[in-house]
Amino acid sequence: MAGRKIVVALGGNAILTNDASAKAQQNALRKTAASLVQFVEQGDQLVISHGNGPQVGNLLLQQAAGATEKNPAMPIDSAVSMTQGSIGYWLQNAMDEALAEKGLDKSVATVVTQVEVDADDQAFANPTKPIGPFYKADEVAQQRLDHPEFTFVEDAGRGYRRVVPSPKPIGVVEADVINQMVDANIIPISVGGGGVPVVKDGSRYIGREAVIDKDFASEKLAELIHADLLIILTAVDNVYVNFNQANQQKLTDVTVEELGDYIEEKQFAPGSMLPKIQAAMDFVNHSDHGKTVITSLDNVGEFLTSGAGTTVMKTRNTVLNK
């Protein structure tokens, strides 16, 4: 089990609580780091990714509120890079502290990661990625007046959020750098917020106004660096079918084919569990020996000791070396 190369994708609950202050997010990440250090204790090589939806949305609102002709707001791609830096700073600081407390000699560093997308991706004409805070009906009406260039939609009965384009990743520019860091005994924090969306133009990479889903970006990175395992951490210990119904069923070991059937049944909510399922399936399909685990941050210890969580595999014949 030891020595696996693992990409761990952190859900929003690993960073943000009801308090959006820097101090509160730093405190949340200390708890997150205490869970992640368990992988290092058993000898695994760790690569960490994270989301940034609330943070980049809040940053864009802050910039829009204070923008002037001489001090204009930054575009979304630059805001993504800015939140990669801020969250990376908090997380690498928390990991350094957790590693030191365990007496582990390991360095941590944040990579401002560019993720390549297709300039012709249809997502650019159809914004779907929620960013920023939730708004009530009266609040979103005011936001629409203040920011007519923004698109807002109702989000799963929880309120209204701004949505932006979310193209699929086709490459990770710094994948080789990240692999070299792992080989050098460094824990990279990478593809933060799904990475900075860029398109290639000759020898240049040009930023685009979008936010890439962090689970898809994490899958693409795991694929490119030949990771042994992709772990997607979310708010629940397991994936469920018939979720929150009387016949709710917990999934433990599940094949890609079975998940495809569940997707056809519309078992997984778009914008919530569905992209995690799709990313999990992509990694299993595109890697030679990889598996994907979906579970919660709080369940990491149980996963490491007993394999608890939902493991996605190619076939039932796959060896479940959790």
Place of tokens 């002037």: 68
Tell me the CA distances in angstroms from 9 to 218, 230, 263, one per residue in order.
6, 8, 22
From 52, 57, 129, 194, the catalytic residue: 129
Tell me the CA distances in angstroms from 85 to 92, 227, 316, one per residue in order.
10, 24, 41
From 5, 214, 220, 291, the catalytic residue: 214
Q: Is 193 a catalytic residue?
A: no
Q: Is 129 a catalytic residue?
A: yes
Alpha-carbon distance of 215 to 193, in angstroms, equals 9
Q: Is 168 a catalytic residue?
A: no
Q: Is 12 a catalytic residue?
A: yes
Query: Distance from first CA to last CA of the chain, Å, rounded?
Result: 7
DSSP 8-state symbol, 320: -
CA atoms within 13 Å, Cβ hemisphere of 82 = 15
From 276, 290, 291, 309, the catalytic residue: 276
Alpha-carbon distance of 169 to 82, in angstroms, equals 19
* Residues carrying an active site annotation: 12-13, 129, 214, 276
